[in-house]
């Protein structure tokens, strides 16, 4: 799998073709698994990690007829390439910043990724565009079964799957949905959503998972509990709560339009104007403005642009992506210039023609 | 003279064709004169003012062969039309907001205007594009001579021309130059200019003269003294100081480009982006952003636009102009929408084509 060619486009989950993709960016399920006969990665030495990596990556190859996974040795990559995979949501920050032998198997469409030697020996994830948890669940179940056929995972009859961190013990599942909630942020109702989710023991995180700040009105909703409830039950909790958030967000947008259409249109149009003309721009401001523009497209206030193009820009304007496209390391100030240039090129018809 | 047709374009002094018009918006000279046999306007009753108005406007007509002036009875105009003439710099705020019979004679090109019953019985002004005080002086001298041929002005051998306010006694002259100094504002050197001008007893004012705030980096420099020095001498003082301010402003722009070309370009490009996309915008923000764009055009950082177009927008986006163009009174919020619409129409090629 060639990272340079990956940098030119985006995975399936960003195409914005899934259900409710005006608000739901993506759905994701990941499972944590460990080999019974090895210490957890945080206790394993390099030799053991190497053995684990070889074992699992070999098994991945073995099942290539039923599920092809392109294997990338993350421990061989430089910091830029690792960051690049984090930005594409194919590996976690933990795997990127870890030490010792580790890697990831990625499907061609980038929907499936299987990390080796992250916090657990195996972390597999399936990600899809829009609100599509059933698809994610069906697919990850299949991948899990395929792997389990080859590998014996640590499992306790009473506790379930054993994991390095007790918060993952049991099902080892994390079900998450990435939502774009600019309306609720503008009406200041977003805190109410957070409170309701907390009562359901669901976590809210930013664009890049655990510890990351919510930027550009993107929020990841996921389960905190993994023990004592079935996978289906945990998925059901999230599946049931999301539609009310969607309804709430859509109502917020309607209210904003009703109460101050001109003001909302102005904010959105200016965001588009700045993105199309800036000569230097940070990641944070880009996310913030793209968020406004994304809502504007969904509300029919901007017609120059489609949702997939915006979703793609959310990823392509990230630091490592910019450097992969330019094929050279760029300092922060240079990245801000490259980012502005990419945005102008993609957003203005005029520059499109001349470029 | 039809005010509605005036609203569609701008006078000669805004064409930006005069010398140094990258920095000097306009040069202006006005003379204050009074009739010997009448009390000053602030002491005159309606009957006296009416007599003054009739007398002077009749004399204006008499000299129409040598200098055609279109006479407008300002006291017959509604508030919107009066404001409109203020925005075009054809009458002063004082004349607009005054009471009793009063009016103004305006040349076709709008370079010459002669106000009747302002603070003084006669206030004549000549305004030209760019740094052109000699032209202004030659022209206003001619107009003054023509009028003086018809009318006997109050003159004292020791004091000179007598005026309602002692600060105008003597020559009755105000020489002023409107400068666009965004570079010195950005480098924060503008205060030094103000201090230097103060020592020369020159006044600094905003876009709309006395009492108006400096907006959009536009500053009007004018003499404060009118007594004890000849007109030529007063003009000379300003003519001599302006070139050093121009040099200082040009150096400030060069420094900004040298030290942070990308940052300056970014600020200018964003200003253009916002002006081209906003759905609602205030006069103040418009002036502020047009100021950036104006500097950008002069520095060759923006090529979609020419200086005369920007100068024109500075006037056409003013409240009364917007209402004259739309041919109806508009509330502040409606004006902000109309202003944004006008800006988009004038600044974006796309909207140009479809409108």
| Ordered per-residue pLDDT tens for chain A, 355 residues | 678 777 777 788 878 788 999 999 999 999 999 999 999 999 999 999 999 999 999 998 888 888 899 999 999 999 999 999 999 999 999 999 999 999 999 999 999 999 999 999 999 999 999 999 999 999 999 999 999 988 899 999 999 999 999 889 999 999 999 999 999 999 999 999 999 999 989 999 877 655 555 677 999 999 988 888 899 999 999 999 999 999 999 999 999 999 999 999 999 999 999 999 999 999 999 999 999 999 999 999 998 888 989 999 999 999 999 999 888 999 999 999 999 999 999 998 644 433 3
Residue B1 has pLDDT above 80, yes or no: no
- A78 occurs within a structural domain: no
CA distance B224 to B211: 14
Average pLDDT score over chain B: 91
Average pLDDT for B300-326: 91
- A284 occurs within a structural domain: yes
How many residues in chain B? 355
Residues of A in contact with B277 (CB under 8 A): 269-270, 272-273, 276
pLDDT of residue B355: 33
Residues facing A30 on adjacent strands: A125, A174
Helix (H) or strand (E) holding A25: strand A24-33
Count of structural domains, chain A: 1
Contact at CB, A265 and B279, closer than 8 angstroms:
yes
How many residues in chain A? 355
Cβ(A327)–Cβ(A339) below 8 Å: no
Q: Is B266 on the interface with A (CB under 8 A)?
A: yes
Q: Is B214 on the interface with A (CB under 8 A)?
A: no
Contact at CB, B340 and A276, closer than 8 angstroms:
no
Place of tokens 């209402």: B323
Q: Chain A: give the shortest CA distance to residue B187, in Å.
A: 20
Average pLDDT for B137-163: 93
Residue B330 belongs to domain spanning: 252-354
Q: Is A353 on the interface with B (CB under 8 A)?
A: no
Buried b (16+ CB within 10 A) or exposed e, B110-128: bbbbbbbbbbbbbbbbbbb
Cβ(B214)–Cβ(B25) below 8 Å: no
Contact at CB, B279 and A266, closer than 8 angstroms:
yes
Contact at CB, A277 and B270, closer than 8 angstroms:
yes
- B118 occurs within a structural domain: no
Least confident of A188-192, A210-214, B6-10, B141-145: A210-214
Residues of B in contact with A269 (CB under 8 A): 277-279
- A17 occurs within a structural domain: no
Q: For A292, list phi and psi in degrees, rounded to 5.
A: -60, -45
Average pLDDT for B165-176: 92
Taking only Cα atoms into account, the Rg of chain B, rounded to an integer number of angstroms, comes to 21
Residue B213 has pLDDT above 80, yes or no: no
Q: Is B142 on the interface with A (CB under 8 A)?
A: no
Q: Pick the closest to residue B299 from B22, B89, B9, B66 (CA basis).
A: B22
Q: Is A303 on the interface with B (CB under 8 A)?
A: no
pLDDT of residue A323: 94
pLDDT of residue B212: 55
The two three-digit tokens of residue B2, written as one number: 């039809």
Decide: residue B253, CB within 10 A, 0-12 exposed, 13-18 middle, 19+ buried: buried
Q: Pick the closest to residue A168 from A262, A347, A272, A42 (CA basis).
A: A42
Buried b (16+ CB within 10 A) or exposed e, B318-329: bbbbbbbeeeee
Which of A262, A274, A349 shows the shortest C-beta gap to B273? A274
Cβ(B225)–Cβ(B157) below 8 Å: no
- B11 occurs within a structural domain: no
B239, B245, B248, B249: CA torsion to nearest 10 = -120
Report how far apart, in Å, the C-alpha atoms of B114 and of each of B50, B74, B90, B118, B253 are: 16, 12, 9, 10, 38
Alpha helices in B151-206 (DSSP H): 182-186, 190-199
Q: Is B277 on the interface with A (CB under 8 A)?
A: yes
pLDDT of residue A355: 34
Report how far apart, in Å, the C-alpha atoms of A125 and of each of A174, A214, B279 are: 9, 21, 43
Q: Chain B: give the shortest CA distance to residue A332, in Å.
A: 14
Q: Is A302 on the interface with B (CB under 8 A)?
A: no
Helix, strand, coil percentages in chain B from 3-state DSSP, rounded to 5: 50, 15, 30
Q: Is A340 on the interface with B (CB under 8 A)?
A: yes
Q: Chain B: give the shortest CA distance to residue A349, in Å.
A: 10
- A331 occurs within a structural domain: yes
Contact at CB, B280 and A273, closer than 8 angstroms:
no
Half-sphere exposure for A156 (CA within 13 Å, toward CB): 9
Q: Is B7 on the interface with A (CB under 8 A)?
A: no
CA distance B23 to B250: 9
Cβ(B321)–Cβ(B7) below 8 Å: yes
pLDDT of residue A352: 41
Residues of A in contact with B270 (CB under 8 A): 274, 277-279
Taking only Cα atoms into account, the Rg of chain A, rounded to an integer number of angstroms, comes to 21
Contact at CB, A273 and B273, closer than 8 angstroms:
yes
Q: Is B269 on the interface with A (CB under 8 A)?
A: yes
CA distance A7 to A17: 20
- B333 occurs within a structural domain: yes
Beta-sheet pairing, A160-161 with B103-106: unpaired
Contact at CB, B269 and A262, closer than 8 angstroms:
no
Contact at CB, A278 and B269, closer than 8 angstroms:
yes
Q: Is A167 on the interface with B (CB under 8 A)?
A: no
CA distance B55 to B37: 12
CA distance B158 to A235: 98
Average pLDDT for B56-63: 89
Q: Pick the closest to residue B6 from B95, B72, B66, B54 (CA basis).
A: B72
- A157 occurs within a structural domain: no
Q: Model confidence over B334-354: pLDDT tens digits?
A: 999 999 999 999 998 644 433
Decide: residue B245, CB within 10 A, 0-12 exposed, 13-18 middle, 19+ buried: buried
């Amino acid at each position: 799998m060639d990272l340079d060619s990956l940098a030119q486009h985006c995975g399936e989950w960003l195409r914005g073709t899934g259900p409710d993709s005006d608000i739901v960016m993506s759905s994701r399920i990941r499972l944590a698994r460990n080999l019974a006969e090895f210490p957890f990665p945080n206790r394993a030495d390099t030799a053991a990690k190497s053995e684990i990596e070889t074992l699992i990556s070999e098994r991945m190859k073995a099942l290539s007829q039923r599920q092809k996974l392109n294997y990338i040795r993350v421990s061989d990559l430089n910091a830029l390439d690792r960051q690049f995979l984090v930005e594409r949501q194919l590996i976690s920050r933990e795997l990127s910043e870890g030490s010792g032998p580790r890697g990831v198997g990625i499907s061609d469409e980038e929907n499936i990724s299987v990390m080796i030697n992250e916090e657990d020996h195996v972390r597999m994830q399936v990600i899809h565009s829009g609100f599509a948890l059933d698809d994610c669940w069906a697919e990850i179940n299949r991948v899990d079964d395929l792997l389990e056929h080859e590998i014996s995972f640590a499992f306790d009859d009473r506790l379930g799957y054993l994991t390095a961190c007790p918060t993952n013990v049991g099902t080892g599942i994390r079900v998450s949905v990435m939502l774009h909630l600019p309306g609720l942020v503008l009406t200041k109702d977003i805190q109410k959503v957070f409170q309701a989710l907390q009562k359901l023991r669901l976590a809210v995180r930013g664009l890049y998972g655990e510890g990351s700040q919510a930027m550009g009105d993107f929020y990841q909703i996921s389960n905190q509990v993994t023990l004592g409830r079935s996978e289906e039950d945990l998925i059901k909790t999230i599946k049931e709560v999301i539609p009310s958030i969607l309804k709430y967000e859509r109502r917020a947008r309607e209210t904003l339009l009703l109460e101050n259409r001109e003001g909302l249109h102005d904010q959105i149009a200016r965001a588009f104007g700045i993105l199309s003309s800036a000569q230097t721009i940070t990641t944070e401001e880009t996310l913030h403005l793209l968020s406004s523009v994304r809502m504007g497209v969904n509300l029919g206030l901007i017609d120059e642009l489609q949702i997939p193009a915006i979703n793609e820009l959310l990823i392509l304007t990230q630091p490592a992506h910019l450097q992969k496209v330019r094929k050279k390391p760029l300092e922060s100030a240079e990245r801000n210039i490259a980012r502005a240039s990419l945005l102008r090129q993609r957003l203005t018809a005029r520059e499109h023609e001349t470029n």
